[in-house]
Amino acid sequence: MRNIITLLRPHQWLKNLFIFLPLFFSRHLVDWEYIYPCIISFVAYCFAASSVYCFNDIWDVASDRLHPKKCKRPIASGKISRKEGYWITLICIMISLLLAILGTIDNHHYLLKILCFYIIVNIAYCIKLKQIAIVDVFIIAIGFVLRIFAGGLVANIYISQWIVLMTFLLALFLAFAKRRDDVVIYEDTGMKVRRNVNRYNLQFMNQALAIIASVTMVCYIMYTVSDEVIERMHTSYLYVTSIFVLAGIMRYLQLTIVDVKSGSPTKILMKDLFIQI
């Protein structure tokens, strides 16, 4: 059971909290009629994501066995067989889709379509698309945008262009930072953590991170000073929160470039007090 839980990677479920962002920005985070459908979406998405992680470990078992850290994963280490892995993948997919169908929420058909699209795209990502440089990080970013729509559509909350842009840019920033960690391993040891790692280098990664961080910051400032948001939030001082966003981005850049610790954004969020604040 411990190995199955490890295979499902429950710590990665933190990413699915993006489902609740529409509630936060629409100020419905304490309204049960909005929270309930998002909880169903969250649980369904957790099983969908775990099915993808499991399939990925099955597909990459050969390369994972050569990796200094990934070789300890349940399938790569032989603690769970590939056949058992396929069964776990199928069970997770079934639970996810059944929750969307039987979860007694409005607009459940939207959630079902999003989950199916997410699973199909990510299986294609595991098999082929993650081997294509730049396409791989864009698919990761799109996955986070899908989470936003999964939360907003089931709760009947309007999804503004701002939350879509900010989510996409932030996820793209984190994805490039994670890929940079792979490039460092490749340039230091010659080990290809990913097949497309030779299509990246540190100079490209640093420039990409700088560009995306700048665009993200500008996008957030534009959000805070837009007439629509000022009217909805009933304040013209929202721009002050840009300080926290800038501090968070700079801290993550420091962890990525100076400390070279960007391999797992989820673990950084769980452990780094500065970013949590």
| pLDDT surpassing 70 at residue 273 | yes
CB-based contact 246:217 (threshold 8 Å): yes
Confidence of residue 263 (pLDDT cuts 50, 70, 90): low
CB-based contact 271:186 (threshold 8 Å): no
Read off the tokens for 12: 């990665």
Least confident of 31-40, 175-184, 259-268: 259-268
Supply the pLDDT for residue 50. Answer: 94
Q: Averaged over 226-250, what is the pLDDT? A: 89
Between residues 267 and 10, the one the model is more confident about: 10
Q: Averaged over 99-106, what is the pLDDT? A: 80
- Per-residue CA distances from 126 to 55, 139, 236 (Å): 8, 11, 45
Contacts of 45 (CB under 8 A, 6+ apart): 16, 19, 96, 115, 118, 147, 150
228-237: long-range pairs with CB below 8 Å, 24+: 228/160, 229/162
Contacts of 107 (CB under 8 A, 6+ apart): 37, 153, 154, 156
In the chain, alpha helices (H)? 2-8, 21-25, 32-59, 61-64, 82-102, 108-127, 135-154, 161-189, 202-225, 227-233, 242-253, 265-271, 273-276
Give whichever of 27-36, 145-154, 198-207 has the largest mean pLDDT.
Answer: 145-154
Q: Averaged over 252-275, what is the pLDDT? A: 83
Question: How far is 271 from 268, CA to CA, in rounded Å?
Answer: 5
| pLDDT surpassing 80 at residue 107 | no
Question: How far is 61 from 176, CA to CA, in rounded Å?
Answer: 23
pTM assigned to the model: 0.85
CB-based contact 64:123 (threshold 8 Å): no
Dump pLDDT digits (tens) for 38-56: 999 999 999 999 999 999 9
Query: Considering the domain 1-159 in this protein, what is its CATH number?
Result: 1.10.357.140
Q: Averaged over 117-138, what is the pLDDT? A: 91
Q: Averaged over 111-124, what is the pLDDT? A: 94
Average pLDDT, the chain: 88
Dump pLDDT digits (tens) for 176-206: 988 888 888 777 777 777 777 778 888 899 9
Supply the pLDDT for residue 90. Answer: 95
